[in-house]
Amino acid sequence: MDVKDFDSGELSEMLAFVSDLASSAGQIIADAIRAKKLVTNKSQRDFVTDTDEKCEVIILDALKEKYPTHKFIGEEETAKAGVLPDLTDEPTWFCDPLDGTTNFVHGFPFVCVSIGLTLKKQPVLGVVHSPILEETFTAAKGLGALRNGSRISTSGETQMMRSLVITELGPDRSPSTLDTWMGRYRSVAERCRSMRGIGSCAIGMASVACGRADAMYEVGFGGPWDCVAGAALVTEAGGCVFDPSGKPFSVMCRRVACSASPALEWALAEALAPNSSNPSEPEYFAL
Amino acid sequence: MSAFCAGVRVQGSRPLGSTGLTRRARSGLSHRRRSSLRCCLPEESSAVLEVVIRAAEDAASHMMNRVGAEVEKTKINSRDLLTEVDPECQEIIEKHMRSEFPDHGILGEETTPSGRENSVNALERALKEEWLWIVDPIDGTTNFVHSQPMSAVSIGVTYKGELVLGVIVDPYRSETFAAMKGQGTTLNGEPVTVSNEQTAEEALVAAGSPTATDSLHAVIRGLAVMMPEVRSMRMLGSAAVMYGWVACGRLTAYWEPDLHSWDSAAGAILVTEAGGRITDLHGNDYTVRTRSLLASNLWTHEPLRALLLRAEVHNL
């Protein structure tokens, strides 16, 4: 059975609903970051906080009630099941109630709520709400991308040498992953204007969408919930979203790259090519 | 001994109360109290600080209104950018200084020929001034050009060659960081201290994104050695902001292989007055001549410094 596309009215309504949820969750984050936080260890470098859990409850309960036929893929359920569910063509929500938990525990301002929706396995809607930096990025298919209500677009930059590139270090610290990461970093840093690292995949992608950075790449982040909203933002802002290997973006792989222009996509993929993968990182697979 | 100096040494008059501070921050403060006993701040220091804050905030407003300015030219290489706004901001600061303290000297990025050697020589000449303002009118010019809201005005002031106060203004987050020797560090008037991480493994460490090729390679060496040992790394592209965030505890530490005096003067005093530590990579206390450096929350200083030495980040 063919899954029906959403019309622009439906997308606008979903966007408004989700923006409100993101804002409520954002308030919890902002309040907590100013107070002492309770942290429980999940693994050596990835932390679950009780704020994360509170925000997830707010967002998921409301979404599940409003859209009972939609699917949901999120961090906590995936952790409990031990495996990522398969992605179908059905509308599927990807929520990261607190992207940037390391930043959060340090009071480092780059934290956000990231809520994205796929349809037919493609991102069609995204909200990235950054409560400390007081910015909300929204996008829906055919409706463009906005920052605090104003239209945004990528920088359009085509030259690597004039580009600001964002990348992040994921939770994996195995020697082979670190070697590959350093190889990529060296290769891109030698070709671009400057490198940045802020610790939030979603905010990094939003930065490309609004033209503050020209490209971004990350391999091995926590889960697809980190990049679906960002992918919708960049696409609607006129940019390119792709796999760091240069192949088409595939939502569930935990690998993403984005750029201000097709020319920069090509240049970035070329720079990343010699270090495109290693066995301890998530592999590319088409959906 | 002036009444002002006596005031600096009196425990009760400190802006940071002893309650609510961690044991570690208090230890840092004790270290500073001992240092302040050896220094005597000139009487006009508070007046200078007020003017420096006004000058920095004025320049920062102008900077924010001009964000995304075009690159006018490049300096040492194609990564080293200059816009017309950089000298405009420096001029705003100089006007404030000349109007209130006409006998003070200024060392600013925009009036110093580019390159490492020129910077070092200009600093040596400038340090002959009794009072010297060491100014970076837009720290984070690359961010500024890209409309990345992460740049700041940085002004450090020396008296007879010693750093006595520093101000960093980040207009995007409306944050003014200020510190005066022996008085602690404030953020928008409220006292702040460095963070509490005890080990490298808990540390959130910032690194630079330098323009010079040898510095870039030094950063790459440093990243490779640090990454397996620390919680995570960040690169924000503005030394001033990274120093401010170490001082107020958002970052554990920040290091660079080679910075000019105007990049670090204010940041260095912000960090030390907040209970942190800043040294060269051999562990010598920071002076305005220090170019390779590590600023930290004190507790993680030695383990992080050992990593940077291992990576030979200092050999420039």
Confidence of residue B79 (pLDDT cuts 50, 70, 90): low
Q: Mean pLDDT for chain B?
A: 86
Judge whether B193 is closer than 8 Å to chain A, CB to CB. Answer: no
Q: Quick check: A52 pLDDT over 90?
A: no
- Output the CA–CA distances (angstroms, integers) from residue B158 to A62, B144, B312, in the order listed: 57, 27, 30
Work out the average pLDDT over A195-223.
97
Work out the average pLDDT over A171-191.
93
Nearest residue in chain A measured CA to CA from B219: A186
* Among candidate residues A13, A39, A38, A206, the one with its CA nearest the CA of residue A114: A206
Interface of B with A in 7-36 (CB under 8 A): none
Q: How many Å is the Cα radius of gyration of chain B?
A: 18
Could you tell me the domains of chain A? 8-151 (3.30.540.10), 160-276 (3.40.190.80)
> How close is the nearest chain B Cα to the Cα of A201, in Å?
13
CA distance A110 to B97: 35
Q: Quick check: A193 pLDDT over 60?
A: yes
CB contacts of A195 in chain B (<8 Å) are 209, 235
CA distance A59 to A75: 13
> How close is the nearest chain A Cα to the Cα of B303, in Å?
18
CA distance A127 to A20: 10
CA distance A225 to B107: 49
Going from N- to C-terminal start, the domains of chain B cover: 39-192, 200-310
How large is the angle between the packed helices B261-273 and B239-247, nearest 10 degrees? Answer: 10
Q: Quick check: B28 pLDDT over 80?
A: no
Confidence of residue B76 (pLDDT cuts 50, 70, 90): low
With a pLDDT cut of 90, the percent of chain A lying above it is 79
Q: In the prediction, which pLDDT does B7 show? A: 29
Number of Cβ atoms within 10 Å of the Cβ of B53: 18
State residue B86 phi and psi, 5-degree precision: -55, -55
pLDDT digits 0-9 by tens, B285-304:
999 999 999 999 999 999 99
Q: In the prediction, which pLDDT does B239 show? A: 98
The third-level CATH classification (topology) of the domain covering B200-310 is: D-Maltodextrin-Binding Protein; domain 2 (3.40.190)
Q: In the prediction, which pLDDT does A32 show? A: 86
Nearest residue in chain A measured CA to CA from B150: A212
Work out the average pLDDT over A202-226.
96
pLDDT digits 0-9 by tens, B83-117:
788 899 999 999 999 999 999 999 998 888 888 88
Q: In the prediction, which pLDDT does A3 show? A: 85
Q: In the prediction, which pLDDT does B38 show? A: 45
With a pLDDT cut of 70, the percent of chain B lying above it is 82
Least confident of A275-284, B17-26, B133-142: B17-26
Classify strands B152-159 and B131-139 as parallel, antiparallel or unpaired. Answer: antiparallel
Q: What is the DSSP string of B7-75?
A: HHH-GGG-SS-STT--HHHHHHHHHHHHHHHH----TTHHHHHHHHHHHHHHHHHHHHHTTTPPEEEES
Q: In the prediction, which pLDDT does A279 show? A: 86
Q: A2 among the known binding-site residues? A: no
Among candidates A194, A199, A212 on the partner chain, residue whose Cβ is nearest the Cβ of B234? A199
Q: In the prediction, which pLDDT does B316 show? A: 64
Residues in chain B: 316
What's the pTM?
0.90
> How close is the nearest chain A Cα to the Cα of B234, in Å?
5
CA distance B37 to B45: 16
Q: Quick check: B68 pLDDT over 90?
A: no
Q: Which of helix, strand or coil describes residue B294?
A: strand
Q: What ipTM is given for this predicted complex?
A: 0.93
The three state secondary structure string of A224-262 is: HHHCHHHHHHHHHCCCEEECCCCCECCHHHCEEEEECCH
Confidence of residue A167 (pLDDT cuts 50, 70, 90): very high
CB contacts of A109 in chain B (<8 Å) are 173, 250
CA distance A107 to A39: 13
Q: How many Å is the Cα radius of gyration of chain A?
A: 18
B122: phi > 0 → left, psi -120 to 50 → alpha, else beta; which? Answer: alpha
Interface of A with B in 65-94 (CB under 8 A): none
Judge whether A42 is closer than 8 Å to chain B, CB to CB. Answer: no
Q: Mean pLDDT for chain A?
A: 92
With a pLDDT cut of 90, the percent of chain B lying above it is 68
Q: In the prediction, which pLDDT does B14 show? A: 31
Give A166's strand partners. Answer: A196, A216
If one compares A282 and B79, the residue with the highest pLDDT of the two is A282
If one compares A153 and A45, the residue with the highest pLDDT of the two is A153
The third-level CATH classification (topology) of the domain covering B39-192 is: Fructose-1,6-Bisphosphatase; Chain A, domain 1 (3.30.540)
Q: Quick check: A221 pLDDT over 70?
A: yes
Which tokens belong to A253? 């792989």
Judge if B39-192 and B200-310 fold alike in CATH terms: no
Interface of A with B in 208-247 (CB under 8 A): 211-214
Q: In the prediction, which pLDDT does B69 show? A: 67
Q: In the prediction, which pLDDT does A224 show? A: 96
**For chain A, how far is it from start to end, CA to CA, in angstroms?**
18
Least confident of A99-113, A212-226, B2-16, B151-165: B2-16
Q: In the prediction, which pLDDT does B18 show? A: 33
Q: In the prediction, which pLDDT does A48 show? A: 53
pLDDT digits 0-9 by tens, A4-40:
999 999 999 999 999 999 999 999 999 888 775 445 4
Residues 6+ apart with CB under 8 A from B104: B48, B97, B129, B130, B131, B132, B133
Nearest residue in chain B measured CA to CA from A164: B146
Work out the average pLDDT over B18-23.
38
If one compares B214 and B5, the residue with the highest pLDDT of the two is B214
Cβ pair B100, B93 in contact under 8 A: no
Judge whether B148 is closer than 8 Å to chain A, CB to CB. Answer: yes
